[in-house]
Amino acid sequence: MKDTPMQSSRGTQEIEVYSPEPEIVLDEEVSSGGRGHVHVGSRSEESGPPPSSVSRTGIAIGAVIVAILLGAAIVAGIASRSKDRSELNDATAIAAVPTVFTTKPSGGSAAQEITLPGNTQAFTDTPIYARTSGYLRHWYADIGAHVRQGQLLADIETPELDQQLLQAQADLLSAKANMDLAQTTSVRWQALLEKHAVSKQETDQVVSDYAAKQAAYASSQANVRRLQELQSYERVLAPFDGIITVRNTDIGALIGTGSGSTPKELFHEAAVGKLLVYVAVPEVYADSIRDGQKVTITQDANPGQIIEGTISRNSNAIDQTSRTLNVQVGVDNASGQLKPGAYVFVHMKLPSNGSHTFTIPSNTLLFRAEGLRVGVVRDDVVTLVPITIGHDFGGTVEVTSGLGPDDQIVLDPSDSLISGTKVLAKPAPKEKKL
Side chain identity at 231, as an amino acid letter?
Q
- Same structural domain for residues 243 and 132? yes
Instruction: Quote the pLDDT of residue 433.
Output: 45
Mind listing the pLDDT tens digit for each residue in 102-120? 988 887 555 577 899 999 9
- Same structural domain for residues 395 and 413? yes
- Same structural domain for residues 243 and 133? yes
pLDDT of residue 33 exceeding 50, the answer is: no
- Please state whether 379 falls in left (phi above 0), alpha (psi between -120 and 50) or beta: left
Query: Closest Cα to residue 271, out of 149, 356, 424?
Result: 149
Q: Is residue 146 one of the residues assigned to a domain?
A: yes
Residues 6+ apart with CB under 8 A from 322: 280
- Same structural domain for residues 297 and 179? no
Last residue of a domain, which of 284, 316, 350?
350
Instruction: Quote the pLDDT of residue 77.
Output: 74
Number of structural domains (the chain) is 5
Q: Is residue 118 one of the residues assigned to a domain?
A: no
Residues 6+ apart with CB under 8 A from 219: 175
The Cα 167–Cα 178 span in angstroms is 17
Q: Is residue 178 one of the residues assigned to a domain?
A: yes
Of the given ranges (149-158, 195-204, 257-266, 318-327), which has the lowest mean pLDDT?
257-266
Mean pLDDT of all residues in 44-71: 68
- Same structural domain for residues 84 and 104? no
- Same structural domain for residues 289 and 323? yes
Instruction: Quote the pLDDT of residue 313.
Output: 92
- Same structural domain for residues 183 and 277? no
CATH number at residue 380: 2.40.420.20
> In this structure, what are the phi and psi dihedrals at residue 219, rounded to the nearest 5 degrees?
-65, -40
Round the average pLDDT of the chain to a whole number and report it: 81
- Same structural domain for residues 273 and 243? no
Instruction: Quote the pLDDT of residue 78.
Output: 79
Helix (H, G, I), strand (E, B) or coil at 407: coil
- Residues spanned by the domain of 137: 128-255
Query: Closest Cα to residue 171, out of 211, 217, 209?
Result: 217
Residues 380 and 423: beta-carbon distance below 8 Å: yes
- Same structural domain for residues 325 and 208? no
Last residue of a domain, which of 350, 384, 417?
350
> In this structure, what are the phi and psi dihedrals at residue 53, rounded to the nearest 5 degrees?
-70, -40
Mean pLDDT of all residues in 211-230: 92
CATH number at residue 336: 2.40.30.170
Max intra-chain CA distance, the chain? 232
Mind listing the pLDDT tens digit for each residue in 323-370? 999 999 999 988 888 889 899 999 998 776 555 678 889 888 998 888
Give the Cβ contact number of residue 344 at 10 Å.
Answer: 22
Residues 6+ apart with CB under 8 A from 126: 239, 268, 269, 270
The Cα 102–Cα 49 span in angstroms is 83
Of the given ranges (57-71, 183-197, 211-225, 288-302), which has the lowest mean pLDDT?
57-71
Residues 245 and 269: beta-carbon distance below 8 Å: yes
Per-residue confidence at 53, pLDDT binned at 50, 70, 90? Answer: low
Q: Which residue has the higher pLDDT, 398 or 387?
A: 387
- Same structural domain for residues 243 and 198? yes
Helix (H, G, I), strand (E, B) or coil at 252: coil
Mean pLDDT of all residues in 27-32: 42
- 38 Cα distance to chain centroid: 116
Burial of 397 (0-12, 13-18, 19+ CB in 10 A): buried
Per-residue confidence at 304, pLDDT binned at 50, 70, 90? Answer: confident
Q: Is residue 117 one of the residues assigned to a domain?
A: no
- Same structural domain for residues 135 and 237? yes
Q: Is residue 73 one of the residues assigned to a domain?
A: yes
Q: Is residue 260 one of the residues assigned to a domain?
A: no
Instruction: Quote the pLDDT of residue 89.
Output: 64
Last residue of a domain, which of 320, 350, 380?
350
Q: Is residue 19 one of the residues assigned to a domain?
A: yes
Question: Quick one: DSSP state of residue 283?
Answer: G
Helix (H, G, I), strand (E, B) or coil at 8: coil
pLDDT of residue 211 exceeding 80, the answer is: yes
Q: Is residue 262 one of the residues assigned to a domain?
A: no
> In this structure, what are the phi and psi dihedrals at residue 25, rounded to the nearest 5 degrees?
-110, 125
Mind listing the pLDDT tens digit for each residue in 260-286? 667 889 999 999 989 999 999 998 888
- Same structural domain for residues 246 and 135? yes
